[in-house]
Amino acid sequence: MNRIMYRDAVASALAEEMRRDESVFVMGEDVAIVGGVYKATKGLLDEFGPQRVRNTPLSELAILGTATGAAMCGARPVAEIMHVDFIGCGFDIVLNQMSKMCYKTNGQVTVPLVVRTQCGRGKSNGCTQSQSLEALFTHIPGLKVVMPSTPYDVKGLLKSAIRDNNPVVFIEHKGLYQTRGEVPDGEYLIPLGLADVKKYGKDVTIITWSKTVLTALEAAKELEGHGIDAEVLDLRSLVPLDFDTITESVSKTGRVLIVHEACERGGYGAEIAAEISDKLFDELDAPILRVCGTNIPVPNATIPEVESAPTVAKVVSAVKKICQGGKFRD
């Protein structure tokens, strides 16, 4: 068991899958010599050569179109979109091609493609390179959407995504690449659609994913000082959604906070809240609250950039609001 960085876990997953299956190849802007702007494809060129680690022109349409075509022809491409904010340029491929091909051809053609991309604040990259746009993809039928929060998860999930016969939008977080975590030496897989309880608790369920898992864990620690035992549920996969684990947790706690960095309005948290309200209404002992990104373009300046995202203080405050009355009375 080694403590490795998130970005190295990505590279490790890619290398293992490329060794295992010759049809797996990597393509994207600066993925080869540079090893990706966040070094997540570092070392691959040396081992697998330029045929399987391909730099592309600065064209998301070209990357996504080529990768989709290759996948239709039997390859298993891992196409990197440097920033999720850039995907608009090739969005027709996402919206109408890769996600619909299997359906349109009655299953004769599959698209075993992984679109690796990254999202989020943290580098003062400004409003066009810092967004969290997972809700765009969860809204499109025919796509799987995965957003890992730890080195262990990113490796196991990326390997499963590569082996999946459906197009998977695999969204990493730029603020996580340099975080470290324990990753086993041998091969392992994490199935898509399986959430993970990052911290067990009995009073409130914090449902989150990607980098805000770390925020929630920090908040949970602080909440212990307030006598509140929070459970942190990392969804890992947004589509398919592990509602069984949500059910188990919410049935236990009766209180739900949803935390995501993406803008609150129209975010995936609203979808989860609606589904909980629908299926678990009688379990609820408080209204479902959300702590999300502010509904504004992500600011450049560091302080507003951070403050417009979920913070530990915001999560603690929201949980305390949920846990009013009853046994939490002072």
291: β partners = 259
Radius of gyration of the chain (CA): 20
Q: How far apart are CA 232 and CA 220, in angstroms?
A: 8
Enumerate residues 33-72 that contact another protein by CB under 8 A: none
To another protein, the closest distance from the beta carbon of 249 in angstroms equals 14
Q: Is 36 helix (H, G, I), strand (E, B) or coil?
A: coil
Compute the least distance from the CB of residue 320 to another protein, in Å.
11
Which 286-315 residues touch another protein, going by CB under 8 A? 286
Residue 222 burial (10 A CB sphere; 0-12, 13-18, 19+): middle
Residue 284 contacts another protein per CB under 8 A: yes
Rule CB under 8 A: is residue 283 a binding residue for another protein?
yes
Helix 243-253 / helix 268-279 crossing angle, nearest 10 deg: 60
Piece of the chain touching another protein by CB under 8 A; list 71-79, 122-130, 159-167, 280-288: 280-288
Which two structure tokens, joined as six digits, stand for 235?
């969804």
Half-sphere exposure of 101 (CA within 13 A, CB side): 21
* Torsion-angle region of 242 (φ positive above 0: left; ψ -120 to 50: alpha; else: beta): beta
Contacts of 215 (CB under 8 A, 6+ apart): 208, 259, 310, 311, 312, 315
Question: Which of 50, 184, 227, 326 touches another protein (CB under 8 A)?
Answer: 326
**212 three-class SS:** helix
- CA distance readout (Å), 98 to 117, 180, 316: 16, 33, 40
Min CB(286)–another protein separation in Å? 6
- Total residues contacting another protein (rule CB under 8 A)? 12
Among 1, 3, 186, 281, binds another protein (CB under 8 A): 281
Considering beta carbons, is residue 239 or 288 the nearer one to another protein? Answer: 288
CB of 254 to another protein, least distance (A): 5
Task: Tell which one of 285, 306, 311, 317 touches another protein (CB under 8 A).
Answer: 285
Question: Closer to another protein at the Cβ: 263 or 316?
Answer: 316
Token pair, residue 180, equals 């470290």
Tell me whether residue 214 or residue 257 sits nearer to another protein (CB atom): 257
- Asked if 3 interacts with another protein (CB under 8 A), we say no
Least distance to another protein, CB of residue 329, Å: 6
Q: Mask: binding to another protein, 250-279, rule CB under 8 A, as x and -? A: ----x-------------------------
C-beta of 328: minimal distance to another protein in Å? 8
**CA 149 – CA 293 distance, rounded (Å):** 17
Nearer to another protein, 235 or 323 (CB): 323
Q: Quick one: 3 or 329, whose CB is closer to another protein?
A: 329
Q: How far apart are CA 227 and CA 320, in angstroms?
A: 10
Binding stretches for another protein (CB under 8 A): 254, 281-286, 324-327, 329
